[in-house]
Amino acid sequence: MRKSYHRHKPDTQTKKYRTNDQITAPQVRVIDDAGNHIGLLSLEDALAKAREFEFDLVEIEPTAKPPVCKIIDSGKFQYEQEKQKRKAKAKQKQTETKGVRLSLRIGTHDIEVRMQQAKRFLEGGNEVKVEMVLRGRERGHIDMAKDIIKSFIAGMGKDHGIELTWDEKIQIQGGRLHAIIGLKKP
């Protein structure tokens, strides 16, 4: 029997910075740790200057002509970069689409329960997909299904005091009807 091995894919998001002897450009533009512009130096002079300050020479912008290098502590620099990346990732809000399913013969109490569910989803920062599946002879009552979905959405806004966004279009695919609603952004 043959075994299949999966290689770990390298993280393409992380940017690798060349330091000290890894830099290949003959001339570099040098900036010190305080952000002051030192000037255009040969690579040997820039490395000597970095040793003089007892720091590393890190290639910050390799695509520039000539490449921009900074005299800083490389470990501290990489830590700061990772810290900024984690902070940016923490600020991102992943919105998810949660679903609420209705039927053509749904009762009023069941509608109220689905409204409570949808309200919780919306308050959690998610979008809600209101869906209805029509089976068999129910497919002949698409207009009635649309009315139920519209009244559900109208009831969400009216009964629960929520300002909703939706595109006023109920999408139909075969025997499925759905509309996506979300909270209005201030």
Name every residue whose Cβ is closer than 8 Å to that of residue 184 and which is 6 or more positions away in sequence: 163, 164, 165
Per-residue pLDDT tens over the stretch 35-84: 788 888 888 888 888 888 888 888 888 888 888 888 888 888 888 888 98
The total of structural domains in the chain comes to 2
The span from the CA of 87 to the CA of 78, in Å, is: 14
Q: Are residues 161 and 102 in the same domain?
A: yes
CATH number at residue 122: 3.30.110.10
Q: Are residues 114 and 81 in the same domain?
A: no
Per-residue pLDDT tens over the stretch 73-97: 888 888 888 898 888 888 777 778 8
Distance of CA 117 to the CA centre of its chain: 25
Of 56, 86, 116, the domain-final residue: 86
Name every residue whose Cβ is closer than 8 Å to that of residue 85 and which is 6 or more positions away in sequence: 13
Q: Are residues 128 and 78 in the same domain?
A: no
Domain that holds residue 32: 20-86
Per-residue pLDDT tens over the stretch 136-183: 898 888 999 999 998 888 888 776 666 677 777 888 888 899 998 888
